[in-house]
Amino acid sequence: MMRTDQPTAYVAKYNRDRVAYVVHDDALETEEILGTLAGQGFKTLSATSVSGLLGLLKFDRPDVVIVDSHTLDQHVDLIMLLPSMSFGVRTFALVDSDVSPDDVVRLMKRGVSSVFARPYQYTQMLQAIVDELRTDLRGSGDAVTVQGIAALTERERDVLNHILGGRTNKETAVTLGISSRTIEVHRARIMEKLGARNTVELVKTALQLG
């Protein structure tokens, strides 16, 4: 059964000329993602491998490509070329819930627009895609507020830098000379100030805010 947690305010007809490809070898997850996108007017196609994606590219230019990280890891350089192509494909990566901050940073720096961690929130996934496409239509994104970063204390910025470096709470605690529990408190406050609900969102927001 398809997921029904889709935003009702978004009018599907605005996406009727949009093409979305999903590259994933899990049939159930692929079906749910395709259903979410198709329900909002996207033309959808899927492949189980990067070679399959290359086959799809012969038929229609995609606006969005959603790639499972397991597929992506095998062909990172090829997939990461998509955002830089002249037709401006937006690439999104699907990752496991225990993805490391270092991996998220690597993907974002290579051009991935957003990283979605399991279990997926399909409403958020769709909204992130829509926001990216609206940015394209504007020609440039809205100015990003730096209020969140500015609100961090010096210690919180130290902790954030360690998170972005892929270090664990324990490693950060040893380096900074404080307890792991204190690191957890700082981490929670950082996430609250930056409006992040998990590590993926925290890394993405921090990179966007510089």
Please give the pLDDT value at position 176.
92
User: Domain spans of the chain?
Assistant: 12-138, 147-209
* CATH number for the segment(s) 12-138: 3.40.50.2300
Q: pTM of the predicted model, to two decimals?
A: 0.62
Task: Give me the amino acid identity at 165.
Answer: G
Say how far residue 130 (Cα) sits from the centre of its chain: 13
pLDDT at residue 204, rounded to an integer? 75
Token pair listed for 36: 């979410």
CATH 1.10.10.10 fits 147-209, yes or no: yes
Model pLDDT, residue 82: 59
Q: In the prediction, which pLDDT does 73 show?
A: 57
Look at 177 and 15; give whichever has higher pLDDT: 177
* pLDDT for the residue numbered 72: 62
pLDDT tier for residue 121 given thresholds of 50, 70 and 90? confident
Q: Between these two residues, 159 and 53, which has the higher pLDDT value?
A: 159
Tens-place pLDDT, residues 44-80: 999 888 778 878 777 777 888 898 887 765 555 555 5
Task: Report which secondary-structure segment, H or E, holds 20.
Answer: strand 19-23
Q: Average pLDDT, stretch 22-50?
A: 89
How many Cβ atoms sit within 10 Å of the Cβ of residue 163? Answer: 24
Highest mean pLDDT among 85-99, 110-124, 143-157: 110-124
Three-state DSSP at 23 gives: strand
